[in-house]
Amino acid sequence: MIRPKPESVEIVHQRRDAALRALVSGVPYIQFLGIEVERRGDELTAILPFDEKLIGNPMLPALHGGVTAAFLEVAAIIELSWSTLWEDVESGRIALSGLDSLHMPRLPKTIDFTLDYLRSGLPRDAYARARVNRSGRRYASVHVEAWQDNRARLFAQGTGHFLMPDRDLPDPADQARR
Amino acid sequence: MPDYDTMRVSDPERVKRAAQDFIEAIPHARACNMHIEQVGGGSAAISMPYDLRLVGDPRTGVVHGGAVSALMDTCCGAAVLSHPDGPSASATIDLRIDYMRAATPGQRIIARATCHHITRSVAFVRATAHDEEEDGPPVATATGAFTADRSPAAS
């Protein structure tokens, strides 16, 4: 049996990082909040580096509850898009050269989002990881957890329901599909 | 520094001025150019102009849901603080947001919140967000619970 030679690690990194960049860097609001996303294999961690403009209570001081909400929602949408994009990218169905902010795959739409505020957000970096609990053809349910100094001490968690993009409609990313 | 107590006095102009000072002392509200339209008696209206920095979908120019959440959270907090029995500081315990439709690109968004019940420790709030089509269905609605501790160290 002859097995195909495995791809070089550089090629794999390049492809996956380009796909992630297309998801993150094209969205102005993600840039406005300063959210970054790190990848280990297919596991993503969203990072919200501390910035003065994220403060909601200047006396404590504490992160704005709305910023926390937005951070968790962004992390959920990126995880959900990433989980569907991953297969297309790995199988080569999407050519990355054509992916930019105007030719991204259609994003899921938020139906609702529920947030638990567990402790006040400190004026320092925050991290979030999301888990897709169910992803059907039409609807998806995603849970997100956010922490700061200590992974075990969450400062917020959330659950959102999302409407998946209609796969039967023409998708701008199809231009990038082979 | 924001003057929370003035938000509960009776002169509406003074209340509104105090409220605008309050919101400008919140760095994130300032960064999003949030503006107090009305506040007092446990309700608040806060608007946010259309801003390209807040766009969530570059293809359509629709504002990101997170920005709408931030506006609604701010508005809910202002409603709690303006309640006659409200605390002098409050934090969100829980917030649920339902997104009905995309906000029309180019239009400002206005959130209206009412603190409809308050106990010794918790304030219950409902809010809606509309774009400039005010007679149409809301862009989003929210329900939340906020802390209402009267001690200054409440968080």
Architecture of domain B5-147: Roll (3.10)
Architecture of domain A9-171: Roll (3.10)
User: Which among B67, B74, B96 has the least Cβ separation from residue A112?
Assistant: B96
Q: What's the whole-number mean pLDDT along residues A25-53? A: 95
Contact A74 B64 (CB under 8 A): yes
Q: Residues near A52 by Cβ (< 8 Å), separated by ≥ 6?
A: B27
Domain positions in chain B are: 5-147
Asked if B128 and B144 count as a contact pair (C-beta separation under 8 A), the reply is no
Which chain B residues contact residue A70 at CB under 8 A? Answer: 64-67, 69-70
B119-123 — which CB contacts under 8 Å span 24+ positions? B119/B148, B120/B148, B120/B150, B121/B147, B121/B148, B121/B149, B122/B93, B122/B146, B122/B147, B122/B148, B123/B80, B123/B83, B123/B86, B123/B87, B123/B90, B123/B147, B123/B148
CB neighbourhood size of B150 (10 A): 12
> Is the predicted pLDDT of residue A90 greater than 90, yes or no?
no
> Is the predicted pLDDT of residue A92 greater than 80, yes or no?
no
Q: What's the whole-number mean pLDDT along residues A95-122? A: 83
Q: What's the whole-number mean pLDDT along residues A79-106? A: 76
Q: Which candidate in B62, B68, B95, B155 is best for mutational testing of the A interface (most A CBs within 10 A)?
A: B95
Size of interface A-B (CB pairs under 8 A): 135
Question: How do residues A140-172 score in pLDDT, each as one tens digit?
Answer: 999 999 999 999 999 999 999 999 987 655 555
Contact B28 A55 (CB under 8 A): yes
Which chain A residues contact residue B69 at CB under 8 A? Answer: 66, 69-70, 73, 113
Domain positions in chain A are: 9-171
Q: Which residues in chain B come in under a pLDDT of 50? A: 1-2, 154-155
Q: What's the whole-number mean pLDDT along residues A14-27? A: 85
> Is the predicted pLDDT of residue A178 greater than 50, yes or no?
no
Can you tell me the ipTM of this complex? 0.88
